[in-house]
Structure 1
């Protein structure tokens, strides 16, 4: 067993749909054991395979109070009942939590690490965790379920009205006001602070290489490093 790197948004693998596992073999069991160790080391309740870079429908869960975690291969949610609002977090969005709606009761099935069929009727945190992790396998993050812009905040805090938070990303734009090819003076460069929503962000490969689509914010980006104003900046 070994610890694996947990992928953090906006790593594009988090938006990819995981493939069905054809056979529960030693390779799948090895992945699942690594996931259990990684999840426990990070203090998580659940982990999906794409969160550690593997596009397979494998989930691990370790509910509070339980002696050990469990492995779920090809988990499916068959039915849900009721609805409640819950606070939710994610190892791929560290340090933040949001208010989302989840089912009160979830009926699910999966294969265990031996390939045996398991069926459960889950409630409370178990039901919530099942929905959260199956979402991951389908490329869905819990922030996609936010009904209101303000319902995501730094863990344990309340967001003041008008303050940027994780649903916004703060960006700093350097806008040149000269039209020739000469190097602009300091007075010809305006620094503009703005915020971009998740819907205006995309990533090509990793957090370090992520780019921003600024067109909806009123800017055009010809490259990662050059940003030019398209509209009035005031």
Structure 2
């Protein structure tokens, strides 16, 4: 396992639609493990493959709750409802934070590291973090959804996604 370099904006890969994962092998497991190490090293709560230079539909999220680390391969939001507005940051935009409105509840269909399909329901901060990472896989940056930029001191313990 290794900490990888985080891709910083502006980099073309951050605005590209990622390719579907079709091979579930040791290389994928290494990528997932490296993504986890990288996310922890940079104090994030989520990381998407394009943020480490890979144009693949792979994302991980860990908001430090009982669910632990959520690995999402080829994730798609299949249901969304409600609304929440809150602060977001991004490891690819160091020091930049903004208020973003997203659905409060989501249902996501994805695959695990072995290719097994699963459905995950999430709400609140977990839903926010997952949506942020799925946006990365679709070439969408949180800055396109910011309604108001914030100073770091306004965050009060918010996490970088």
TM score, norm. by length of structure 1: 0.63
Residues 84 and 124, structure 2, Cα contact 8 Å, conserved in 1: no
Aligned residue for 2:152?
Answer: 155
Say whether residues 1:64 and 2:64 are aligned partners: yes
Superposition pairs for residues 15-164 of structure 1, below 5 Å? 15-66=15-66, 68-147=68-147, 151-157=148-154
Q: Return the offset for 1:80.
A: 0.4
Structure with more of its chain in helix, by fraction: 2
Show structure 2 runs of 5+ residues with no match: 156-161
**Count of matched residue pairs:** 155
- Determine helix, strand or coil for the equivalent of 1:56: coil
Separation (CA, whole Å) in 2 of partners of 1:66 and 1:46: 16
Separation (CA, whole Å) in 1 of partners of 2:117 and 2:33: 19
Higher RCO (CA 8 Å, separation ≥ 6 residues): 2
Q: Return the offset for 1:16.
A: 1.1
Show structure 1 runs of 5+ residues with no match: 159-234
Q: Return the offset for 1:119.
A: 0.5
Change (3 A) 1:109 1:8: same
Larger Rg: 1
Residues 99 and 150, structure 2, Cα contact 8 Å, conserved in 1: no
Could you give the per-residue CA deviations for residues 62-81 of structure 1, whole angstroms, max 9, x where no partner exists? 11234842321101100100
Separation (CA, whole Å) in 1 of partners of 2:67 and 2:142: 27
